[in-house]
Amino acid sequence: MIDYQRRPPVLVLEKVAKEFDGHPPVQVLHNVNLTVSQGELIAVVGPSGSGKSTLLSLVGTLDRPTSGSIHLEGHDLTGLNDRQVAALRAHRIGFVFQQFFLLPGLTTVENVATGLLYTGETAKRRVERAKSALREVGLAHRLGHRPDQLSGGEKQRVAIARALVGKPGLLLADEPTGALDAVSGKGVIDLLLELNAQGTTVVVITHDRDLAASLPRRIGLEDGRVAFDVSDASPNADFSVAQGGAA
């Protein structure tokens, strides 16, 4: 078994808390400590309201914690301004969502190339890299197709190609199979497994207990706290907290 502790961390959260304004304020995350090492494949599970979506927003630099620190590839996000954080996100984080968010008037190549808009690449180079990314996810035969000409599984593969085209250090997948049938969903998970085997660090946010159990590390959230953090080398976790819908 790979000893991930010997690999450099991609992501480190220390005593991270998140509070939203209200009367009284709503505490969504409490004192979360988490380290993700290079090359890991992780499921984050929990019931509705457990804090999964908030954690995704913080890890993906879409929001900032109320307190605590987040380090991404050695960069302390609390010490960066919004422009610096946006640049780091554009270059080092890839996102895959339950809804594909493909632009209907663009071909698959053009949709994937949008993932490089803020990298400074030339238009020609963006197209070349988009074609390469689509080949990697098995869609070389769909380069000129538009979203309405694709199946659900193919749309999600386009979304994964768009997330990976910039060669990010971290791929965040939020309920990546939630809008797919069982066969298409398995195809997407197999693709994520293959990408991880090639070295991509992948964190999957899910409420699917079977999917979570199939991944080598499982982190469970409950009421904004880490309820368990286990790997295949650890005793089985109690997945009862993973019941319910997406947070």
> How confident is the model over 203-225, as pLDDT tens digits?
999 988 888 988 999 999 999 99
> In the prediction, which pLDDT does 240 show?
40
Q: Which domain holds residue 102?
A: 4-242
pTM: 0.85
Q: Give the Cα separation of 127 and 125 in Å (integer).
A: 5
Q: Tell me, yes or no, whether 132 lies in a domain.
A: yes
- DSSP-derived secondary structure letter, 100: -
Q: Tell me, yes or no, whether 16 lies in a domain.
A: yes
Q: Tell me, yes or no, whether 67 lies in a domain.
A: yes
Q: In total, how many domains does the chain have?
A: 1
CATH number at residue 75: 3.40.50.300
Q: Tell me, yes or no, whether 59 lies in a domain.
A: yes
> In the prediction, which pLDDT does 237 show?
42
Q: Tell me, yes or no, whether 71 lies in a domain.
A: yes
> In the prediction, which pLDDT does 15 show?
97
> In the prediction, which pLDDT does 2 show?
58
Pairing of strands 217-222, 67-72: unpaired
Q: Tell me, yes or no, whether 247 lies in a domain.
A: no
- Residues 3/176/226/195 CA torsion (nearest 10 deg): 10
Instruction: Give, in degrees to the nearest 5, the angle at Cα 219 between 214 and 221.
Output: 125
With residue 212 as reference, give the H or E element that holds it.
helix 209-214
> How confident is the model over 105-155, as pLDDT tens digits?
999 999 999 988 877 789 999 999 999 999 989 999 999 999 999 999 999
Low-confidence stretches of the chain (pLDDT beneath 70)? 1-6, 233-247
